[in-house]
Amino acid sequence: MDNKQNLLRKLPAINIILEQARIKQLESRCPHTLISEAASETVQGIREAILAGDETPDTITDLDTIAAVVAKKVQEKISPNLRKVINATGIVLHTNLGRAVLAGSAVKAINDVAANYSNLELDLNTGERGTRYSHIEKLLCRLTGAEAGMTVNNNAAAVLLVLNTLAKDREVIVSRGQLVEIGGSFRIPDVMSQSGALLVEVGTTNKTHLRDYESAVTEDTALLLKVHTSNYKVIGFTAEVSAGELTGLGRKKGIAVYEDLGSGVLVDFMKYGITHEPTVNESIKAGVDIVTFSGDKLFGGPQAGIIVGKKYIIDKIRQNPLTRALRVDKFTLAAMEATLRLYFEEETAVAEIPTLRMIMMPSEEIRLRAEKLQGLLREKTGDSIETEITAGFSQVGGGALPEENLPTFLVSVRPLSMSVNKLEKRLREMEPPILARIQKDRLLFDPRTLLANDCEVIAINLQRIMETG
């Protein structure tokens, strides 16, 4: 007890801490209130530690040590919470890491409209009020073959909007095998009930036939819905009705057909040796009346939900009051337009859109990148880690192409003086934070998802960690 009182008495006063040189120099970089708040919090934290602990070391009241803690706290307070990280996981579309990285031209477009006024809702030809959707509609139509198109906040919003506009208080027929949950909170049956549409399930988990849809049609049927089962695959004895067959039935019965493609790609992945992913053009060509897909999955653009299809349906959606609540901002539109323009030539899209470039990266390029990273690590960290290059797999992620294992080369690192878990944690705490994969007693760096000078930054930070422990 005496010792506790003793230590408490030795705690420096706040004003003494604030007069320390290393604290004083912070004043040019951040507000005084933040510094004194950090000092009070630090002293309070130490006071609680003294009262709680039985064998608190005397050094806990050292002025230098306390000043260092305060400085660190101040640094945390002035660093942005949302910030850049280095993705060495090899998961191209990592929802926790912000999904698609934008192309350079999309970033520039955001910058231009952010720092200036723009013609967001002004028709420059007439000088009259225009619509924000006009900037991307022609591009969407040209690239997908659809009659009309627009975009909203995300694909979940697009699904809600389409169902609410076309099927409120009416029936929507969907296969049992397509009642998916995506990313934890998006579930087709839940979105359906939120939209006011009535779900009519047909078929079974593994097999649904055209006759199942046909016999479920009533005069209350508003839509035939097909959902891309993005994040899982049914294998074995399966049967699914194609978009073409479904539109055949839709025509015969006078019912619109809606396809939620999830990812929605504009290039044929098969050409690049990757599993075929249904393209938006294929759906439109098959006669699907309305198609929705994400902007930040395989399309490789900003977060958005893209809606394309028949003009009469898009017109109806625009008039739905919900559309105003789900509308996109000017940054999204700017990035979307710039990304769409890259698709004019497939070669350009594949070269410039980071998502496509990473997924289609030749293994020779990955091997060279791995060798470069390994070389830098050896140079910077000497004998403190063991490295080797091993063959492995990257993933597309983002609930897209769940079965696809993209062959890659990994730089496998084993730290000799600390545990792999500690190294992983220390890398996550660096500036910028570095995220890699742990496998047994090794940390794996996948060069597929590294950008610009990430290799150098990883090597320098690993050096720092190995030097300071």
Ligand X SMILES: *Cc1c(COP(=O)(O)O)cnc(C)c1O
DSSP string, 279-340: BHHHHHHTT-SEEEEESSSTT-SSS-EEEEE-HHHHHHHHHSHHHHHTB--HHHHHHHHHHH
Determine, following the binding rule CB under 6 A, whether residue 186 of this chain makes contact with ligand X: yes
Is the CB of 305 or the CB of 397 nearer to ligand X?
A: 305
Which strands, in side-by-side order, build the sheet including 148-152?
A: 148-152, 305-309, 290-294, 256-262, 221-227, 171-175, 198-202
333 to 372, contacts with ligand X by CB under 6 A? Answer: none
Which residue among 156, 166, 200, 465 contacts ligand X (CB under 6 A)? 156
396 is a contact residue toward ligand X (CB under 6 A): no
**Residue 95 CB-half CA count within 13 A:** 11
Paired tokens of 254: 């006078």
Q: What is the DSSP string of 339-388?
A: HHHHTTSHHHHHHH-HHHHHHT--HHHHHHHHHHHHHHHHHHHGGGEEEE
Residues ≥6 apart with Cβ < 8 Å to 12: 43, 61, 63, 66
User: Judged by CB under 6 A, which stretch of 22-30, 36-44, 155-163, 243-251 contacts ligand X?
Assistant: 155-163
Whichever of 133 and 258 has its CB closer to ligand X, that residue is 258
88 or 166, CB closer to ligand X? 166
Backbone φ and ψ of 212, nearest 5°: -65, -45
Taking CB under 6 A as the rule, does residue 294 contact ligand X?
Answer: yes
Question: With binding defined as CB under 6 A, does residue 151 bind ligand X?
Answer: no
Task: Determine, following the binding rule CB under 6 A, whether residue 94 of this chain makes contact with ligand X.
Answer: no
Is 305 a binding residue for ligand X by CB under 6 A? The answer is yes
Half-sphere exposure of 269 (CA within 13 A, CB side): 24
Stretch that binds ligand X, among 52-60, 152-160, 197-205, 239-247 (CB under 6 A): 152-160
Interface segment toward ligand X; rule CB under 6 A; list 75-83, 125-133, 223-231, 245-253: 223-231
According to the binding rule CB under 6 A, does residue 154 interact with ligand X? yes
Nearer to ligand X, 294 or 355 (CB): 294
Q: Residue 423, interface with ligand X (CB under 6 A)?
A: no
Taking the least distance from each CB to ligand X, the nearer of 155 and 394 is: 155
Strand 186-187 to 385-397 pairing:
unpaired
Q: Is 262 in the site for ligand X (CB under 6 A)?
A: yes
Task: Please identify, among the stretches 117-125, 197-205, 225-233, 425-433, the one whose residues bind ligand X according to the rule CB under 6 A.
Answer: 225-233
Residue from the set 192, 222, 227, 361 that interacts with ligand X by CB under 6 A: 227
Contact call for residue 283 and ligand X (CB under 6 A):
no
Q: Does 331 bind ligand X (CB under 6 A)?
A: no
The pair of three-digit structure tokens given for residue 240, joined into one six-digit string = 């699914």
Position 442 contacts ligand X (CB under 6 A): no
Quote the DSSP letter at residue 430.
S
Using the rule CB under 6 A, is 260 a contact of ligand X?
yes
- 387: contact with ligand X by CB under 6 A: no
How many CB atoms lie under 10 A from the CB of residue 212? 18
Positions touching ligand X (CB under 6 A) are: 154-156, 159, 182, 186, 227-228, 230, 260, 262, 294, 305, 399
